[in-house]
Amino acid sequence: MLLLNGPNLNLLGERDPEQYGSTSLADIEAAVTALGKELGVTVVCAQSNHEGELVEHIHAARDLDGIVINPGAFAHYSIALRDAVDAVDTPCVEVHISNVYAREPFRHTSVTAPVMQGYIAGCGVAGYELGLRAVLRRIEEARGSA
């Protein structure tokens, strides 16, 4: 399982705490990794501020069970991330800490969401754990129909 975070998310806990809270990315990664262990999956964590590096991580995840991704601002305009997710045959769930629909209008559209198997926004950092559970549910559903 890949937990992938996009630009500026390395600053969680410091950047705009009213919007994103005080939890650091390291804290989120530790919580999701612990939940993964509890649920019997290994979680690999990565973060980049560079679009191409995120694409490379997605490509490398072809051999993993799934992806939980917070693409950050790239969700709103990165066709490259959209195409990378569309190209891998693994369940992907998009997560946003804030309620993007309660923010600026440019955040209301995600070009990546249409190729995801789930979308979680506005649940704070708990959205990451929900995302992990959603990916595992999608895997379970796919195996049940096979």
DSSP label of 67: E
Confirm or deny that 98 is annotated as ligand binding.
yes
Q: CB of 73 within 8 A of CB of 7?
A: yes
Residue 21 CB contacts under 8 Å (≥ 6 apart), including other chains: 12, 13, 97, 124, 125
Confirm or deny that 97 is annotated as ligand binding.
yes
Residue showing tokens 């992990």: 132
Given 20, 57, 119, 128, the catalytic residue: 20
Confirm or deny that 108 is annotated as ligand binding.
no
Confirm or deny that 57 is annotated as ligand binding.
no
Confirm or deny that 133 is annotated as ligand binding.
no
Confirm or deny that 65 is annotated as ligand binding.
no
Residue showing tokens 């549910």: 137
CB-count exposure of residue 13 (10 Å: 0-12, 13-18, 19+): middle
Mark whether 119 is an active-site residue. Answer: no
Mark whether 59 is an active-site residue. Answer: no
Given 57, 96, 119, 128, the catalytic residue: 96
Binding site for substrate: which residues? 70, 76, 83, 97-98, 107
* Catalytic residue set: 20, 96
